Structure 1
Amino acid sequence: MSRKSNTEQRRKEIVFALLSVMAEHGYEKATILAIARQAGLAPGLIHYHFKSKGEILLYLVKLLAGLSRIRYEEMAAAASTPQDKLLAYINARLAKGEGALPEAVSAWVVIGAEAVRQPEVRAVFQEAIAAELELIQALLTACLRDQKKRIDHVPELAAGLLAFMEGAFQLASAAGDIMPQGYAAATARAFIETSLTAQEPV
């Protein structure tokens, strides 16, 4: 294995350590020492791979966005219709089961809060959100065209679905014990099916 591969693997270990600490204790308490302990590394090694905790956080945003996209692509691989692909996306983002990372949900909520406070985090977070919106719009457009319906309201529908998902992540992190089990994916599917049905024919 090359040195570059070893370095990249170590960086991922550090980033996942930040994810674990942040999901449990928040960003402020995710110190370099706490990250090092979680990763089983000396603090000096953290500084060797990253200039700061903020740099680890930026890497984490991109990593989580990438993992989310990979889970969708794996679930959508067997999809044969636009509707199946859209449902695969909803399940990839909201359903539990293989490939789900509960800690990532809490970490993503913390990242959203840090995006409000830190311009560098906001820029990377907005890139991830823009990519999600673009994907949702493409999936909705394909569904509506397949059903020979108008696509005028796709941007609003996409934004509504994304807003629902982000809200579901917040509730899963802060009030998961009182929310109905499995409600998020089921509700998102119902919202989309109703919204698609309501669109006018071409």
Structure 2
Amino acid sequence: MPRPSNTEERRQQIVAGLLRVMSERGYERASVNEIAKAAGLSPGLVHYHFSDKQEILLVLVEQLAARGRARVAAKLAKLAPEDARGRVDAFVDAFLSLGPDADTSAVAGWVTISAEAIRQPEVRAAYEQVVRADLEQLESLVAASVGKRKARALAAGLFAAVQGYFVLSASAPGLVPAGTAANTVKRMAAGVLDGEEA
């Protein structure tokens, strides 16, 4: 009887290996050998499962996006649809709150991906697709408080603050006091939304 395929398990190990190496050393210095070592596999297995390092990175973009969306969905599921302000706060919490499901290596990985999006068109397309979907979701949440006309600009500002906190926490650890990012952006949101209520 043939053994069941472990292809997906191996691919997951490799993607996790890239994330570990990338969060410590950046994408450029994440060699296939380093990725394999972090994954506990041989470089040959990395080459067997992925054509190149960029393919691994593109899978990581999808996986980090899925994790983020799952975190947002879990927080939104706890709130009533008519709790418009609470739903904006939940979105911010999903991205910035500390807790058992917080992952600093994922944040560092996302910041590195955003830098690679500037350099690599394929990564830019994947990154932009994720950011566009997240921003559209935040825009719809903001629109429930202030109306559609003002929602795009306000959501973009709040989302930029979230992304800015990612960059600060990944590139200058300790600069932002632990646990303050979500509360600060939620206060920003409250100030902006209170001044713009429809």
Instruction: Report if the CA contact (8 A) 2:139-2:151 is conserved.
Output: yes
Q: Deviations over 1:106-157 (max 9, x none)?
A: 1111111111111111110000110111110111112x1xxxx543210001
Which residue is equivalent to 2:93? 91
- Separation (CA, whole Å) in 2 of partners of 1:153 and 1:83: 15
Which residue is equivalent to 1:158? 155
Amino acid aligned to 1:65: A
Q: Report the CA distance shift for 1:72/1:2 in structure 2 as closer, same or farther (over 3 A).
A: farther
CA RMSD of aligned residues (A): 1.4
1:200 shift after superposition: 4.7
Please list every run of 5 or more consecutive structure 1 residues that lacks an aligned counterpart in the other structure: none
Provide the secondary structure at the position in 2 that maps to 1:153.
Answer: helix
- Separation (CA, whole Å) in 1 of partners of 2:71 and 2:148: 27
Q: Report the CA distance shift for 1:97/1:200 in structure 2 as closer, same or farther (over 3 A).
A: closer
Q: TM-score, normalised by structure 1?
A: 0.91
- Separation (CA, whole Å) in 2 of partners of 1:51 and 1:91: 36
- Separation (CA, whole Å) in 2 of partners of 1:102 and 1:119: 26
Q: Report the CA distance shift for 1:24/1:156 in structure 2 as closer, same or farther (over 3 A).
A: same
Q: Report the CA distance shift for 1:2/1:72 in structure 2 as closer, same or farther (over 3 A).
A: farther
1:118 and 2:115 equivalent?
no
- Separation (CA, whole Å) in 1 of partners of 2:12 and 2:151: 36
Amino acid aligned to 1:45: L
- Separation (CA, whole Å) in 2 of partners of 1:125 and 1:194: 29
Which residue is equivalent to 1:75? 75
Which residue is equivalent to 2:102? 100
- Separation (CA, whole Å) in 2 of partners of 1:200 and 1:74: 26
Which residue is equivalent to 1:175? 172
Which residue is equivalent to 1:193? 190
Provide the secondary structure at the position in 2 that maps to 1:152.
Answer: helix
1:40 and 2:37 equivalent?
no
- Separation (CA, whole Å) in 1 of partners of 2:134 and 2:147: 22
The counterpart of 1:137, out of the listed 136, 139, 147, is 139
Q: Report the CA distance shift for 1:158/1:2 in structure 2 as closer, same or farther (over 3 A).
A: farther
Amino acid aligned to 1:195: V
Amino acid aligned to 2:127: F
Amino acid aligned to 2:47: H
Count of aligned pairs: 194
1:2 shift after superposition: 5.4
Structure 1 segments of 4+ aligned residues over 6 angstroms from their partners? none
1:85 shift after superposition: 2.1
